[in-house]
Amino acid sequence: MQTSIQINSQLSLTAFQQADIPNMLLYLNDLEIYQNTLHIPYPYMQADAETFLEKTRNNLLKNGALTNWVIRHETHGLIGAIGAMAKQEMDGHLDEIGYWLAAPFRNQGIITAAVQKLTDQMFETRPLVRIEAHVFSHNPASARVLEKAGFQKEGYLRKFHRKKGLDIDSLLYARIRTDG
C-alpha cells in the first residue's frame, strides 16, 4: 500500500497523523475554507479533527488504501489536504476528489500540483475512467486549479448542494483517462 506520493522536493502527499491536529485546528479555522467546502465545519474544533482522523483510519481499513491525504510541506508539516471519495469502492470506474489548502500557501501552484499528482496516481493504480470534482460557483480559484490540472468543465448544476439550509450552485469538472 502506497503511503507517500512525492510532489516535489518540499511537498508530498502522506497519511494523516495525530501530530497533524494542531495544524488542522490552525488552518481549518478559516472562514474561506468553510465557505468553499461542503463538509468542513466552522469553527473547526479538536473533536472535529479527532472525528476526521477516525474516519480516515476507517476508510483505510475499508478500502485497503489511503483515500485521504495530507499535503505535507517539508518544513511546515500539514498545509492542506486532498482526498478521493471512493464513490464506487476502489474497483469502480468513477471517483470524485476534494481538497483544501491553508491561506499562507495559496497562489503558489501547490494545490494544482497536488491535484495533478493524486489524479495521476489514481489513474495508475485503480481502474478509473473518470475523476470528478464539484466546485461551488462562487469559488473561481478552485475552478482554475482544476483546469490547470487537466480537468474540463462539464456543467453548471443549479442548487446542487445544500449547506446549512442554503442551496448552492456547483460547477462540475471531470478528468477522463486518456490511455483508453
Omega prior to 22 cis, within 30 of 0: no
Judged against a pLDDT cut of 90, whether residue 69 lies above it is answered with yes
Q: Would the pTM count as exceeding 0.85? A: yes
Q: What's the one-letter identity of residue 39?
A: H
Q: Report the distance separating Cα 84 and Cα 132, nearest Å.
A: 10
CATH code where residue 58 lies: 3.40.630.30
pLDDT score recorded for residue 179:
66
Structural domain total, the chain: 1
Q: pLDDT tens for residues 15-59?
A: 999 999 999 999 999 999 999 999 999 999 999 999 999 999 999
Q: Report the distance separating Cα 73 and Cα 92, nearest Å.
A: 31
Range of the domain at 133: 4-176
